[in-house]
Amino acid sequence: MELTLSIPALLFPAISLSMLAYNARYLAIAALIRQLHKQYQEKASRGLGIQVRQLEKRLKIIKNMQAVAILSFLFSAITMFLIYIEQDFWANLIFGISLLALMVSLILSLIEVQLSTNSLTIQLADMGVKIEKK
């Protein structure tokens, strides 16, 4: 398959949208941490400590998601430059790395969503709400 400028350019909107979504998740978690910090200062509890540890883990995953997505974006740009200067072997190699980075970012996103869902399930259970598993 011949790699043209339009192929890596197709990744730009996908990566940009994923980075936007990752940033929104980061901001939401940061706001929640600030809220929990305030609650913890008022009254420390074991439940708040567990939530904070979960959020800390999720923040680390989101940081890695963002870093890998940025690398994917950078490698796509490098690929386009390599195509422009007619370095086909390197362009194909770097484009493959860009795709792998995007896949890693998406896998990390899936893991973070699972952690988020688990956290919500714990909170709902704490309120006495039962979740049916299908």
pLDDT (tens digit, 9 = 90+) per residue, 70-92?
999 999 999 999 999 999 999 99
pLDDT reported for residue 64:
94
pLDDT reported for residue 100:
96
Burial class (CB in 10 A: 0-12, 13-18, 19+), 81: middle
User: Each residue of 61-79: b (16+ CB within 10 Å) or e?
Assistant: bbebbbebbebbbebbbbb
**Pseudo-torsion of CA 114, 115, 117, 122, nearest 10°?**
140
Residue-range definition of the domain harbouring residue 78: 8-124
Q: Is residue 131 part of a domain?
A: no
Q: Is residue 101 part of a domain?
A: yes
Report d(CA 44, CA 39) in Å as an integer.
7
User: 65 by DSSP, 3-state: which?
Assistant: helix
Q: Is residue 102 part of a domain?
A: yes
Q: Is residue 129 part of a domain?
A: no
pTM for the predicted model, two decimal places: 0.78
Q: Is residue 3 part of a domain?
A: no
Q: Is residue 79 part of a domain?
A: yes
pLDDT reported for residue 96:
95
pLDDT reported for residue 49:
74
Report d(CA 59, CA 17) in Å as an integer.
19
**Which residues in the chain land under pLDDT 70?**
122-124, 126-127, 129-134
pLDDT reported for residue 107:
96
Instruction: Report how many domains make up the chain.
Output: 1
Report d(CA 89, CA 73) in Å as an integer.
19
Q: How far is CA 93 from CA 1, 82, 101, 115, in A?
A: 13, 10, 13, 33
